[in-house]
Amino acid sequence: MKSRSRSNVIPNFVVKRSSSVRQDLSPDRSLCHKVKNDKSVRGEKRQNVMRNLDLVIEELASSNSQEHLEHAIESALEAFAHTRTDLHDEEIRLGADIATIKLLDRTLASGKLENLVSLCSILEMVFRCSTEVLQLSYSSNGPEVVALLIKVIKECLDGMIRGKQVALQSTMKILHRFSSGVRDAKNDMVHNDELLIIISEIASKDVGSGTREDSMGIVRNIALLNKQNRIILAGKSCLLDSIVKTALNEKSHYKVREQCSAIMWYLAMESEKRTHVLFHDGIIESLMKLASDPYLKTKLNAVSALGNLATDPVSKSFLLNYRCGALLDSFLDMFRRSEDADVVRRVGRTLRFLVNERTAPLIVNHEGFLDGLTDCILADKKEESYQSAKVINTVSAQINSPLPEHDSILKALTESAFTEQPATGEIIALTFSEQSTIKENREVMIDHPDLLKALAQMVLDKNCTRETMEYMVCTAGHLCTVIYSKRKLVNGPILSALGKVSECNEKLQSVIAGIVLRLATLPKNRIILGQHSELVACLVKSLRTNGDKQEREKVKETILQLVPLL
């Protein structure tokens, strides 16, 4: 079987016919049709199939009369209608792509478009080949093919072609395959303004969901390739308009919405154009809509896109003030409703990105937000509880006394301390500890209703971890300095908590002994300390490990003062 040569330039395409082939080529269609049903074609049968494909392509390439062309198209439609990638590879090696492209070019030039739909279908079938062969075909005349396909799309969008939806879908599928499997095609397409404008126009046209999905898929593949492509695409306002319009369209297929959310996620990655994307009309609205989409992938992409936008310093206040804090309400609702842990994690990360010194008061003052987070912390869902605690921890780091919002933070922490989730408890205990490291916060914390009781409750809980104990002891140590300096009465629950820690955590016994020593310097606190035998026992144990003679004498003296009160 003689292989025909491939031409690099479509207009100069020439097919060398074999002298052994009759002028009235009539391929055996039944044999070609076996290709899609019989996957075990081997040996002589395969040779017959290949010979028949060669005849089909010969006929397609050499069609001169209208009757001959229609016969060739009919044969090709039947012969190529299979899903065998290896046979599509053979079709391209035999020149099926070049022959079809030449006919398509000739058809467009003549203005007689009755065969346009069929030729587009044939070309789409042929390009169901392997990635390797697709790259080979594109390297021969890819940019010229793309230019030709753009002409076809324009005819379909503007003309009155019968069956134009089929031609449009076939053409977009080819371009989508190029963008999926050919790196050079992606780099060419991102600089092809005509193609990007066409894709933008499709959003406002009455086309099928498959065509719309392919158009967004092309943009997604281009954006996925590299940073430079994302920067270029993010600067195309017409393209952003089409993405927003498609995302907000109630009739958009779920796969189309998923493509839109992925594109916005990729474009929001690059800091150079992040502000341009953020302030583009409709972007935030469409992302909020997609973030509540029932399709999981769409939801994840949209939340990730908002997270990327939230990393920009300029965007934080803008996002929080958008529609009077609608984003906070939306995220809080997602915390409560989402059953997917990955969604909850991404929502939590985005909320933390929104926090800085300026925005933290906005978050605290947003009506119902801290109360909602507290409810999430106390919920049964582990991930929801944990991520909510991390958000409060991040906000808390920016809110200290004497800010008016500080009391709201302490109230939320106090209520959150009663969580039954160990990992969440660690975050809350850490937050208490971090708050207590700020001197201005300590007296306010001691005076805050039920805060010390809540702190003690965390340690007395059966699910308390060693890390929670350590954070609690650290907090107690900081707060006891205020109790000592202000000559305040020590809190009983705190002493019970310290006593429990001293019994089960030897590493912290010396620290606890130091706290007890300081508290015992005040006579009115000794009576309360004397009610906790475990703390006296802790002092006794510290005698064994304390090598400082002067300190040992202090410990002995304190023990002698407390023992009579036991």
Domain ranges of the chain: 1-190, 206-354, 489-566
Cβ pair 370, 410 in contact under 8 A: no
What is the C-alpha to C-alpha distance for residues 227 and 195, in angstroms, rounded to an integer? 20
- Give 450: exposed, middle or buried? Use CB within 10 Å, 0-12, 13-18, 19+: middle
What is the C-alpha to C-alpha distance for residues 345 and 513, in angstroms, rounded to an integer? 40
Q: What is the pLDDT of residue 416?
A: 95
Q: What is the pLDDT of residue 31?
A: 41
Q: What is the pLDDT of residue 423?
A: 95
Give the chain's length: 566
What is the C-alpha to C-alpha distance for residues 264 and 287, in angstroms, rounded to an integer? 8
Among 27, 117, 128, which residue's Cα sits nearest to residue 84?
128
Instruction: List all residues 6 or more positions away from 180 whose beta carbon is below 8 Å from its beta carbon.
Output: 217, 221
Q: How far is CA 538 from CA 481, 545, 552, in A?
A: 19, 11, 13
- Which structure tokens are listed for 253? 């297929």
Q: What is the pLDDT of residue 533?
A: 85
Among 285, 286, 269, 268, which residue's Cα sits nearest to residue 277?
268
- Which structure tokens are listed for 152? 């076809």
Q: What is the pLDDT of residue 32?
A: 45
Q: What are the helix (H) ranges across 338-416? A: 341-353, 360-365, 369-377, 382-396, 406-416
pLDDT per residue, tens digit, the chain (566 aa), is 444 444 433 334 333 333 333 333 344 444 444 444 455 545 556 666 677 788 888 888 887 778 888 899 999 999 999 999 999 999 999 999 999 999 999 999 988 888 999 999 999 999 999 999 999 999 998 999 999 999 999 999 887 778 889 999 999 999 999 999 999 999 999 999 999 999 999 888 888 889 999 999 999 999 999 999 999 999 999 999 999 999 999 889 999 999 999 999 999 999 999 999 999 999 999 999 999 999 999 999 999 999 999 999 889 999 999 999 999 999 999 999 999 999 999 999 999 999 999 999 999 999 999 999 999 999 989 999 999 999 999 999 999 999 999 999 999 999 999 999 999 999 999 999 999 999 999 999 988 988 988 988 888 888 899 999 999 999 988 988 887 776 676 777 888 888 888 888 888 888 888 888 888 888 888 888 888 888 888 888 887 776 677 777 877 888 887 777 65
Helices then strands, each counted (H, E), the chain: 33, 0
What is the C-alpha to C-alpha distance for residues 488 and 193, in angstroms, rounded to an integer? 74
Cβ pair 529, 564 in contact under 8 A: no
Q: What angle do CA 169, 229, 302 make, to 5 degrees?
A: 70
Give the torsion sign (CA, 404, 410, 415, 420).
Answer: positive
Cβ pair 454, 414 in contact under 8 A: yes
What is the C-alpha to C-alpha distance for residues 343 and 301, in angstroms, rounded to an integer? 9
Q: What is the pLDDT of residue 239?
A: 95
Q: What is the pLDDT of residue 49?
A: 64
Count the Cβ atoms, other than its own, within 10 Å of residue 109. 10
What is the C-alpha to C-alpha distance for residues 313 and 93, in angstroms, rounded to an integer? 54
Which architecture characterizes domain 206-354 according to CATH?
A: Alpha Horseshoe (1.25)
Compute φ and ψ for 24, nearest 5 degrees. Answer: -95, 75
Number of C-alpha atoms within 13 angstroms, CB side, residue 498?
A: 33
CA 275 remoteness from chain centre: 19
Q: What is the pLDDT of residue 440?
A: 93
- Which structure tokens are listed for 49? 């199939």
Q: At what angle do helices 492-504 and 509-519 cross, to 10 degrees?
A: 150
Q: SS3 of 258, please? A: helix
249: left (phi over 0), alpha (psi -120 to 50) or beta: beta
Amino acid at 122: I
Q: At what angle do helices 451-460 and 466-485 cross, to 10 degrees?
A: 150
